[in-house]
Chain A
């Protein structure tokens, strides 16, 4: 099989797909977003269960509140959360205080159990305040379930124990505690651009209690922040270090208890292949396709620490890997060249340890001090019939055990011990060198491979062929 045949089809297919994407990108980029398009509903995503406790840490909400019921009664978002219109930071507390409630609820602190006429908003303390014994959501990945959409959660929600000032008038009810979210968010900016509250907080109008699990997640943000309508830059929403990288060390006691690493890592909802699963350290080539994406969190030194080939990563190379690597290197799994240069790292070590026994470049096995045994017990690294037959004659025709099959199939193994001089010994066309075995396949001169290489770098050809030789012009 010619190795490029199916490759062409593969390449054409991928090229067509990408070209289409590029054109689509161009087309979409050329159209500036209109106010109407900024209101486009985000694509309904499949997202992991619950938001990351690193982004939205735990909270305590000892309040009974039914958003859906208030919405049906005519309450507006802005009516209670008035400060949202001017908030510029995600850490701002936008939970309405008692004063906002008083516009409807005729609260009298001297009458904790105050009765009101039927049809009016209740004014008892325990109508809204919970006792704090339930409803604490300290970063739990499995917070209490909220009521079904459109129904009041009262009676089914965990927060249902009312609070009354049993310790006497003046006692304070348990307070709402919201931990600082690890995000940047400017409500004012979004509001002034006409983005309705419901676009991000769709549940608020149809659900009873709203907790951290109802806060918008990244997939929702990406409905607009895809680089088309709004920037897709990670640092636009995530906290950043002074050098622009994302702040990824966000450990809290709550996240540790919940089994988190304390590190902000991609869940895979953005690119799929970027999810930092248990095999990511070994299999991140696809994720590494876009270096700017990796460098939005990582320092370059994190690449060179492993790919610099100096310190052995124990999870990639297990104990005594010097012994084991024989099998891995021949198969090239994992890919040695992703951290090691064969003609320096491998050749240098193999020669120093005597595995590569032939510094003069001659045929293997011809040296008297062959390292794999001495005297009459010489054992050759390569199997019998590798380059010579049992009579010592050089093998000139293809055989299963001959080196030509292995060299064509996986020459990187050869390169880890041999320099080019080893091949020239027999394959050079220089008549003074001897064998002159052509390594070229049938009709090599008629191939594009020959023409392209000869036209771009004739120096490689001149290592075997003399100046002026007809072969240099692929004849």
Chain B
């Protein structure tokens, strides 16, 4: 071999870096659904609209990016992953294909078929200090659920205290490859009245926020205090109109505390700076009565608010409080049982005592259909043993909103490793409180049967059929088929 080639080879070998291996995980799900819904034809007659839905999910995860030496002794440092979820969703039935078109089109039905639900580069425990997310990301906590395209960085000042900053633009249905599912509610691009500014929906909405985070996962106390502001420029701005407007501005505080592995407190409160009021409060106390028994007490307060561009905020001046209690017990032989109850109290607004008209001096809110209260409860048990599961639930709700009472039974059994069968029986009665003769009341009995079959390594076929008989249907058949491929490399 000529000497220069040998030298070149040695140089290349000397310069070469260790090879990096990535772990890939691909989860592909194809879901087909076929069913019918009853609708009203333009002439007022009944019609059945067919739904032939096809939904395709492609979830991709690339992990272990970088050298293995980065991850430290316990493998928990400098973890970098890329995660994405893409969705195709469409309907080939008359529901969508037969929908009005042209001037009568329903814009809310013309949503993007291809959505990127999230696509984010995630870094965890970088240099023992930093967690970051870069890309389209979805965030949630006790009183929040939002998605944005941008960056989020959480810097751990100490093991128990961190600061977070994030910035980007809200994911909106008006953007390409974007779902409207997590955008602020209250406005519609389908509005035909120019005064409602339907074009405003297409404007980009930058957002930015900061948070202080205390407590690590195992800590007896943890809290997060956050601030977020989202705004947008005024579309088609006319002289005298503001250049921009705030769509959301919040300060939120959530916290958990634990005492001796027995008593747990969690909750949150949110102050809405658009309206100068607390619009969401939640508090839960959970007590382990014995090693197998839990008691949970919850209090919620909610005053619905919407996108700052929406006039619904002006009308929505009411709020409600919920009190909930639940009890869970683990019984021998794999049986778990529970009981839940709730009560809801709609709070009176300032002007529910009529000052004029035929009801002057009277509390019209208390006399309104449905009254000011609602309540209900449920009871159930699940038995899981080896390859099988049996579950039964019963529920009853009444008061504002109407009445519903029902039972539900589920069974699942693995016949042998590749085959799992399932069935479900449902029966319920309901009655609207508004005007039952028009808005409805009825009885429904439903049956589901299906199975999950492993057709290959990481490949599952899930088939389910459902038939319902009730006041409004002699037979309502529904079919679902899902094929799932989960591959890891």
Contact = CB atoms under 8 A, between A and B. Distances in A.
Interface stretch (A101-109, A116-124, A193-201, A447-455): A447-455
B303 interface: yes
Interface stretch (A92-100, A131-139, A314-322): A314-322
Contact of B255 (A18, A380, A410): A18
B451 interface: no
B185 A459 contact: no
Nearest to A340: B181
Contacts of B264: 268, 271-273
A331 B401 contact: yes
Contact of A324 (B87, B276, B404): B404
A227 B241 contact: no
B111 A310 contact: no
Given A288-B142, A308-B117, A460-B308, A320 B476 contact: yes
B258 A381 contact: no
B349 A257 contact: no
Nearest to A322: B37
B422 to A, nearest CB: 10
A415 B291 CA distance: 45
Nearest to A222: B218
A110 interface: no
A303 B195 contact: no
A288 B257 CA distance: 15
- Give the interface size bracket for B toward A: 35 or more
A43 B315 CA distance: 52
B420 interface: no
A337 interface: yes
B292 A48 contact: yes
Contacts of A221: 218
B374 interface: yes
A463 B197 contact: yes
Interface in B462-480: 466, 468, 470-473, 476, 480
Given A357-B40, A400-B369, A457-B246, A242 B387 contact: no
Interface stretch (B2-10, B12-20, B73-81, B452-460): B73-81
A332 to B, nearest CB: 8
B189 to A, nearest CB: 9
Contact of B277 (A4, A25, A26): A4
B167 interface: no
Nearest to A452: B276
Contact of B316 (A283, A357, A408): A408
A30 B158 CA distance: 7
Contacts of B470: 320, 323
A73 interface: no
Interface in B417-440: 424, 426, 428, 430-435, 437-440
Contacts of B55: 310-311
A326 B402 contact: yes
Interface stretch (A145-153, A166-174, A202-210, A368-376): A368-376
B138 A226 contact: no
Nearest to A231: B159
A242 B432 CA distance: 51
A347 B328 contact: no
A233 B364 contact: no
A49 B292 CA distance: 8
A448 B241 contact: no
Interface string A364-400: 0000011111100001111100000000000011111
A330 B159 contact: no
Q: Which of A260, A286, A380 has the most chain B CB atoms inside 10 A of its CB?
A: A286
B294 A268 contact: yes
A273 B240 CA distance: 52
A37 interface: no
B79 A243 contact: yes
A283 B342 CA distance: 13
A300 B85 CA distance: 9
A291 B473 CA distance: 42
A4 B284 contact: no
A46 B42 contact: no
A236 B74 contact: yes
B185 A415 contact: yes
Interface residues of A, number: 176
B212 interface: yes
B223 A21 contact: yes
A428 B224 CA distance: 41
A308 B138 CA distance: 11
Contacts of A361: 191-193
A257 B385 CA distance: 7
Contacts of B382: 278
A24 B219 CA distance: 12
Contacts of A235: 74-76
B357 A399 contact: yes
A240 B404 contact: no
Nearest to A291: B140
A407 interface: yes
Given A259-B384, A277-B328, A330-B433, A268 B63 contact: no
B101 interface: no
Interface in B1-60: 23, 25, 27, 31, 33, 37-45, 49, 53, 55, 57, 59
B169 interface: no
Nearest to B257: A21
A75 interface: no
A35 interface: no
Contacts of A415: 185-186, 306, 312
Contacts of A401: 368-369
A347 B188 contact: yes
Interface string B336-358: 11101010101111111010111
B256 A259 contact: no
Nearest to A329: B401
Contacts of A408: 315-318, 349, 352
Contacts of B368: 400-401, 405-406, 409
B309 interface: yes
Contacts of A14: 253, 255, 267-269, 281, 283
B288 A46 contact: yes
Contacts of B318: 3, 408-410
Given A259-B334, A275-B294, A320-B473, A228 B367 contact: no
A289 B118 CA distance: 20
Contacts of A369: 42-44
Output the residue of B159, B303, B401, B404 with the most chain A CB within 10 A. Answer: B159
28 contacts: A10-B269, A18-B223, A18-B253, A21-B215, A21-B223, A231-B159, A234-B217, A259-B384, A259-B386, A272-B288, A278-B381, A278-B382, A290-B217, A290-B256, A324-B404, A326-B432, A327-B431, A328-B404, A333-B397, A361-B192, A408-B316, A408-B318, A408-B349, A409-B368, A420-B193, A441-B350, A451-B276, A456-B273
